[in-house]
Amino acid sequence: MRLAFKIAMRFLKYSKVQTMLIILGIAIGVSVQVFIGTLIRGVQNNLVNKTIGSSSQITITSKNDDKAIASWENKVAKIKEIHDEVKNVSAVIDFSAFVKIYGRTKTYPILLRGFNFKNADLIYKVNDNLIDGKEPEFDNEVLMGTDLQKETDAKLGDCITIFTPQGVKKDVIITGFYDLKSASINKSWILTNMKTAQNVFNFGDKATSIEMQVKDAFKVDNILMDVKYKLKDNSLKITNWKEANSSLLSALSGHNASSIMIQVFVLISVILGITSTLAITVIQKSKQIGILKAMGIKDGTSSFIFLFEGMLLGVMGTTVGIFLGLCWTYFFTKFALNPDGTPLIPLYISYKFIAFSALVDIISGSIAAIVPARNSSKLNPIDIIKNG
C-alpha cells in the first residue's frame, strides 16, 4: 500500500502540467457545485426567514366557542420543558375590533393583539422594528402599524377609542409605530399588553392562542406531535406554518430538486474526467507498470497505484474547488445587490453541505479510478516489454 502510494505520487509529479490541468478541471466542476448549492441554500434561507422568520411556526388555539385557553401559563411552562427544540413561546389574546381617532368620526377595522412584549419580541422583533416611539410600559397603551398610521394620520400620544363587537369602548394612548414588513399586518394589528386586551374583551386571565418558534422550522411536524402528546388536551388545536405556506414548500422543493440535479451532473463530469484521464495514463505508463511487475510488484499493488491517483486528484481538485466556489459566492453577494444596497441573495454557508459535497467528490474521484486500476492489473509484463 505504501509503495503504491509513493509510485502514484511520482506519476503525478512526473506529469505536472497534466496533473494541474486535471486538478483544475475537477476544481471548476466542484466550484460550480458549491457555488450553485450555496446560492440555492441562501435563497431558501432567505425565503424562510422572510416568510416565517418573524412569525409563529407552531400555533395553539382553542376549539371552544369562546376561543379561550385557560391556565395558559402552565401550558407555556410545560411546552418549554417537554421539547428543547422550542426556542420561543408567547401567549396571545387577540380579537377583531374597530378603532377611531379622538375627534374624528371614521372607524377602522383592526385586530387587537395583547401579549407579553418581552416574549413576543423574540418572535416578532417588534422592538427592533419600531419606527417611532416605544413599546407600551403601562396599561391602556398601544402600538400602531405604519400603514394604519398613514391612513389615519395618527401621531404619537394620540388618544384612540377601541370598539368591540360586544359594545365595549376603551380609550388608549399611542406610544409608538412599528413596521413588521407586511402591509396587511401594519394596517390591521394594534399591539398592547395582555392585561389591556383582556380588559377590553372582558376575557379574564385567559389567552386565545399560544405561539412558538422552533430551532429548525422544517422539523415542526415532529415537534407538533410531541407537543400535542404532552399537553393531552382535546380542546386545543395545534397547527404549523407548513399548512398555510404550501406554495413556499413547493418552491423550496423545486430548489432542492434543481440543486440535486446540478450536483449529479457535476459529479458525472468529474468521474468521466478522472476515468478518461487515468485510462490514458495507464496506456502511457504501461511500460513502467510492466517493468514494475517484472520486478515483483503484484497486480493488486499496480491497481492501487491508480486508485491512489484518483483519490489524490479528487482531494486536491475538491479542495481547490471548494475554495473557488466559496470565493465566487462571496463576490456574488458583494456585487449582486438590491437597490437599498443589501445583497440580492444573503451569504449563507452550510458547513454540513460543504463537508458532504467534499466527501462525495473525493469518493467519486476514487471510484472513477476503478476502471483504469482494473485495466492496469490485466497488463502482462512479458507482452509489454516484448512489444516495447
| Residue 172 DSSP SS3 | strand
pLDDT of residue 37: 82
Nearest 5°: CA angle at 94, between 89 and 100?
A: 140
Helices H / strands E in the chain, number of each? 14, 10
Task: Give the single-character DSSP code of 105.
Answer: -
pLDDT of residue 237: 92
Parallel/antiparallel/unpaired status of strands 189-192 and 107-115: parallel
Radius of gyration of the chain (CA): 32
Parallel/antiparallel/unpaired status of strands 141-145 and 86-101: unpaired
CA distance 362 to 355: 11
Show contacts of 382-386: CB within 8 Å, 24+ apart. Answer: 382/294, 383/290, 384/286, 384/287, 384/289, 384/290, 385/287, 385/290, 385/291, 385/294
CA distance 157 to 142: 10
Helix (H) or strand (E) holding 161: strand 159-163
pLDDT of residue 172: 94
CA distance 185 to 144: 10
pLDDT of residue 278: 65
pLDDT of residue 110: 94
pLDDT digits (tens, 9 = 90+) for 91-121: 999 999 999 987 777 889 999 999 999 999 9
CA distance 60 to 79: 11
CA distance 26 to 318: 7
- pTM equals 0.69
Q: How many CB atoms lie within 10 A of CB 227?
A: 25
Cell (9 digits) for 40: 440555492
Cell (9 digits) for 253: 422543493
Cell (9 digits) for 250: 413547493
The DSSP secondary structure of 291-332, one letter per residue, reads HHHHTT--HHHHHHHHHHHHHHHHHHHHHHHHHHHHHHHHHH
Helix (H) or strand (E) holding 97: strand 86-101
Q: Is 252 exposed, middle or buried (0-12, 13-18, 19+ CB in 10 A)?
A: middle
pLDDT of residue 209: 94
Residue ranges in the chain modelled with pLDDT below 70: 11, 83, 274, 277-296, 299-300, 306, 340, 372-373, 375-388
CA distance 110 to 98: 5
pLDDT of residue 33: 81
CA distance 56 to 226: 17
pLDDT of residue 31: 86
pLDDT of residue 379: 64
